[in-house]
Structures are given as C-alpha cells and as structure tokens.
A and B are shown apart, each in its own frame.
Chain A
Amino acid sequence: MHSVFGRGNAMAAYTLSVLAGLTFCCFLSTVFLDYRTPAVINTRQVVVKSIPDYSASREKNDLGYVTFDLKTDLTHLFNWNVKQLFLYVTAEYQTQSNQFNQVVLWDKIILRGENAVIDLKNIHAKYYFWDDGNGLRGHKNVTLTLSWNIIPNAGLLPNVGAIGSHSFAFPPEYTTSKV
C-alpha cells in the first residue's frame, strides 16, 4: 500500500466485497418470508366458440371467452428486496387429450410504490383462451387462479400462488354471435 493507486485499488475492492456481503444479508432477511395472500376471482361472462385457429392448425378449435373480477391487496408483499410483482391469471383444466392444461389469460406488472390494491371489475382476458382441440365446450371444472412472480434486488425469483381460486363451467353450446 505504498502508493495512492495501490491504496485506492485495495479500498475499492474491499468496498465491493462489503457490498456483496450486505446484498447477501438483504437476501437472507427476506428469503423465509411467506408471500402468499388471499385473492378473490369471479367470472362474469363465460362463452365458448368454435373457430379456426389460424395460429396453429387451421382446424376449428375451442376458444373460451371469459370476463372476470379480481380483488386482492398486495401492498404488504413489497419490502426492500421486492422491486416488482408480475401478476398473472391462469386457467387450469383437464381434458381427454391432456392431463393438465394451463393457459395464461391476463397479466399485470406492479412496480414498488405503485398502487397494489387491485379491485378490477369485468376485465377481459388479454390473451386468447385457446384449447388445442374441442375440450372447452361443456367443460365442468375450469379453475382460474392468480399467481405472481416476485422480482427481487437479490435472490430467488419465486412464483407464488394466491390463496383462493375460482372454478366455473363452460356452457354446453357454442356461441355463434359476436362477443
């Protein structure tokens, strides 16, 4: 440490090591937190159509059309190791051709500091609810769940499911009118 540059270099290296240690402490302070919280989902309008899926096979597939309400309060999930939440609503169901189907219908990014109280009425799905066949018409048990992906400063990127979900049934007839 006989020169200005030698001392400056050693100090910068030590500072970065300390910063890495502090970041690890920040990670440790939040890694065991429970990020689950209740959410209420309700469907409003549920119809199913049979139309050609040009994005895949051009064959007529079932297209679900769902509007729903979503109510939850995620304010308490934010802490010093949460930069943003990525919310997404998935529909899960079982068909004869697939043991487990999972379709993302809607998503939203909430940055820390933004309003995290969610009370949405009659929202439309952002993405198409395609089935890869004809499994939706008359389906008795499709479950909507809200989940979120936590984007931290440092550490894990957990996917957390909300407590509570909503199951609904599709009508037994295709809708031909425009919705």
Chain B
Amino acid sequence: MDYFSNIPTHMDYDGQGRSEKLSRIIITLFGVVGLVWGFIIQQFSATVYVLGAGFLLAGILTIPPWPMYRRKPLNWQKPRPAPREEGSETQKPKKKK
C-alpha cells in the first residue's frame, strides 16, 4: 500500500501553468490545421475530427500529472524552531508537565 500511496499525483504551480498553456497551444494548432484541411477537401466534418484528435492528444499530454510538470517544487521555508522565551504563553503548559 505504501508503494501506491507514494505515487506523486500533484503538479507544482509552474507545471499547472505549463500544462494549461500546452493544451491550449495543441488544441488551437489542431483547430487551425483542421480548418485549412477541411477547406481544402471541402468537408467540414474533417475539421471537427482533426480538432477531436487535438483534444485527445492534449488530454493525454496535459491532463495526467506527468513528472515533467513537477520540476519546480515550491521552496518551503524550514520550520522555525519554537521560540523559547520565558514570557511566551504557549510555552507555559509544557513547563507544567
């Protein structure tokens, strides 16, 4: 079970941005190519099919959280050690223990 729960399923912020940008580029490109192709062969259904192919390709490339979208993890700051000043309220219960 540990193996499955350790599979990373997230994208980092930069990866999310890049995946959306990539999907839009792919779909737009297939749409334009499909429009030109459909106009050449005078068949609008061809345009729709080419756009559908672009949708599938973009879906494969940008919907699953591939490792390429996980290259810039956030630089979390190290947890600060709790301040050990005598006046602080939070420390008092610990001292009583």
Contact = CB atoms under 8 A, between A and B. Distances in A.
Contacts, number: 64
A5 to B, nearest CB: 9
Could you tell me the dominant secondary structure of chain B's interface residues? Answer: helix
Contact of B19 (A1, A79, A81): A1
Given A11-B58, A15-B55, A79-B42, A26 B63 contact: no
Contacts of B44: 23, 26, 80-81, 153
Max count, chain A CB within 10 A of own CB: residue among B23, B28, B48, B54:
B23
Contact of B63 (A4, A18, A81): A4
B51 A22 contact: yes
Nearest to B43: A80
A8 B56 CA distance: 11
B43 to A, nearest CB: 6
Contacts of B34: 22
Contacts of B58: 11
B51 A7 contact: no
Interface residues of B, number: 29
Contacts of A12: 55
Interface in A29-67: 29
Given A1-B16, A7-B20, A80-B43, A19 B51 contact: yes
B55 A2 contact: no
A175 B62 CA distance: 78
B27 A14 contact: yes
Contacts of B17: 1
B59 A25 contact: no
Given A11-B23, A11-B55, A18-B27, A80 B16 contact: no
Interface of A: 1-2, 4, 7-8, 10-12, 14-15, 18-19, 21-23, 25-26, 29, 79-81, 153
Given A1-B16, A19-B48, A153-B44, 4 more contacts: A1-B19, A7-B23, A8-B63, A26-B35
